[in-house]
Amino acid sequence: MITAVYPGSFDPITNGHLDIIKRSAKTFDKLIVAVLNNPNKTPMFDLEERVDLIRQSISDLNNVEIDCFSGLLIDYMQNKNVNVIIKGLRAISDFEYEFQMALMNRKLNKEIETLFMMTNSDYSYLSSSLVKEAFRFGGNIENLVPDIVIQKMKEKL
Ligand code: PNS
């Protein structure tokens, strides 16, 4: 049985994330979506809200678990006894950073593999930050994030 971890900030979850989650859930026996608790950042949604939005967006997937972590991803993976990291890759611009991070993670623990999944072309430009920016200035973000996210963002305004 192979379990993979899909880590991220998910502030908030987008349809691009959701696409990677669904495809990974089909590919692996189990997927853990691991939400980073980063005290150095001020997110739009706190940890509990981010987890809740993910939970509501993936209620139809029964082999996906949601969890939180802080500190190093590889330490979390080791504690969970999982050695596959799934990362979504959108464009060449993602590559350099992801490449660096994958190599750093491998340096820290050579047993853990990072696997990249190509984005669905519909979402290749999509990021949580752009969604938040568009929303703040009144842009239409329908079809870019789950409806529940739009609803919660409206409540935040
Ligand atoms: O959604 P994001 O913000 O692009 O996700 C980035 C994330 C959470 C995957 C990455 O920042 C991370 O793994 N942070 C934990 C600290 C860590 O292990 N860094 C890499 C080795 S120094």
Predicted pLDDT at 39: 85
d(CA 71, CA 36): 8
CA 31 to ligand 1 center in whole angstroms: 17
Predicted pLDDT at 78: 97
Mutate to test the pocket of ligand 1, among 9, 42, 50, 104 (most ligand atoms within 8 A of CB): 9
Distances (CA, A) of 104 to 64, 75, 85, 127, 154: 26, 13, 13, 23, 38
Instruction: Tell me the average pLDDT across 68-75.
Output: 98
- Starting at the edge strand found earlier in the chain, the sheet holding 3-8 runs 64-69, 30-36, 3-8, 84-89, 113-118
Predicted pLDDT at 93: 82
* Type of residue numbered 2: I
CB atoms within 10 A of CB 142: 8
- The pair phi, psi for residue 14, each rounded to 5°, is -115, 175
Provide the whole-model pTM. Answer: 0.97
Query: Atom 19, ligand 1: which residue's CA is nearest?
Result: 72
pLDDT tens digit sequence for 47-67: 999 999 999 999 999 999 999
CA 104 to ligand 1 center in whole angstroms: 11
CA 36 to chain centre: 9
Query: Atom 6, ligand 1: which residue's CA is nearest?
Result: 8
